[in-house]
Structure formats: C-alpha cells, structure tokens
C-alpha cells in the first residue's frame, strides 16, 4: 500500500475490512464509489507490467503466451 498513490488507501482499507467482516456503512460507501475506479487503475498497471515482464524475459515469453491461450 505504501507504493500506491494515497488516494487509493481508503479503498484498500475498506476492502480489507470487508474481507475480514468488520466493515462499516462508511466502508461500503467508499467501495461503492471507488472500487471500480481502483480496478481500472490496477488493471492498466497489471497489463503494462505483464507486457514489460514478457519483453524482459524473452526466453519464457512463449510459456506465458500459452498460458493466456489456455484461459480463452
């Protein structure tokens, strides 16, 4: 959480509390308002990392491509 922009900390804290079953109505409101935005933020970065990972490891890139096809 330290490496993410501070604007996402409330969403993550609320998600953790919800996971543990200790959420409040405020936590639910935070998640309703910002969870999709956080998912968009995280998805873009995961895809960018995955692309970079493949390009840095050309000797295993073919394995990762096969894994992707298996999920289709």
1-26 pLDDT, tens digit per residue, is 888 899 999 999 999 999 999 999 99
Please count the structural domains in the chain.
Answer: 1
Establish if 23 belongs to a structural domain.
yes
* pLDDT one-digit tens code per residue, 24-69: 999 999 999 999 999 999 988 888 776 665 555 555 555 555 444 4
Cα(10)–Cα(68) distance, integer angstroms: 32
The values of phi and psi at residue 3, to 5°, are -90, -10
Structural domain contains residue 2: no
Does residue 42 lie within any of the structural domains? yes
Q: Is 1 a member of any domain?
A: no
Rounded Cα distance between 25 and 71, Å, is 37
Instruction: Tell me, yes or no, whether 24 lies in a domain.
Output: yes
Task: Decide if 37 contacts 7 (C-beta within 8 A).
Answer: no
- Asked whether residue 51 is domain-assigned, the answer is yes
Residue 15 belongs to some domain of the structure: yes
């Amino acid at each position: 959480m330290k490496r993410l922009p501070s604007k996402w900390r409330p969403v993550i804290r609320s998600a953790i509390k919800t996971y543990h079953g200790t959420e409040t109505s405020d936590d639910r409101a935070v998640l309703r308002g910002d969870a999709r935005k956080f998912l968009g933020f995280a998805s873009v970065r995961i895809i960018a990392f995955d692309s970079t990972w493949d390009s840095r490891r050309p000797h295993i890139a073919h394995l990762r491509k096969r894994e992707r096809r298996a999920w289709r």
